[in-house]
Amino acid sequence: MPLVYIGMGSNLSEPALQLQDALTAMNNIHQTSVVQVSSCYGSKPMGPAEQPDYVNAVAALETSLSSMALLQALQKIELQQGRVRKKERWGPRTLDLDILLYGMEIINEPDLVVPHYGMKQREFVIHPLFEVAPDLTLPCGTSVAALLKCIPHNGIKRLPYKIGNHI
């Protein structure tokens, strides 16, 4: 089974609880189990500044689902937790679940690009990803450790609580 990394984010409706509920839901996806989860990190929003800060984390999953079946399951979780998809990019949301990596596969489909197209530039992805997989190398050959050294900090902070303690 491939090891899959999921970027998680929320800035509405009790974000830490949203991430905890998402972890529980991901662990209940058929043929899927959460094997590790990072600490939570606080970050400034990428989009409009007039929104709350985000809480972000990364979860590592094992799954025998295809990448597209996993994407559909993740989108279902987002909807169940009140995600509303709007035309506005990077706006506030109850939950955002992104497939960052699906094993070492490179996927370029209309609905799914893996590795996630923006992950190398996003401190709120690289910091928690490094925490769960410090020795990870991306399919392009770049290590997460190297990315961590050169990515701007942008005020990211590790939060004093962790989700997933019961997973």
Q: Is residue 18 a contact partner of residue 163, using CB atoms and an 8 Å limit?
A: no
Q: Is the separation of the CB atoms in 31 and 65 below 8 Å? A: yes
**In this structure, is the dihedral angle defined by the CA atoms of residues 108, 113, 115 and 119, taken in order, positive or negative?**
positive
Catalytic residue list: 83, 93, 96, 98
- The two three-digit tokens of residue 143, written as one number: 């290590």
Bridge partners (DSSP) listed for residue 21: none
Q: What is the DSSP string of 85-128?
A: --SSTT---S-EEEEEEETT--EEETTEEES-TTGGG-HHHHHH
Closest to 97 measured CA to CA, from 115, 76, 111? 76
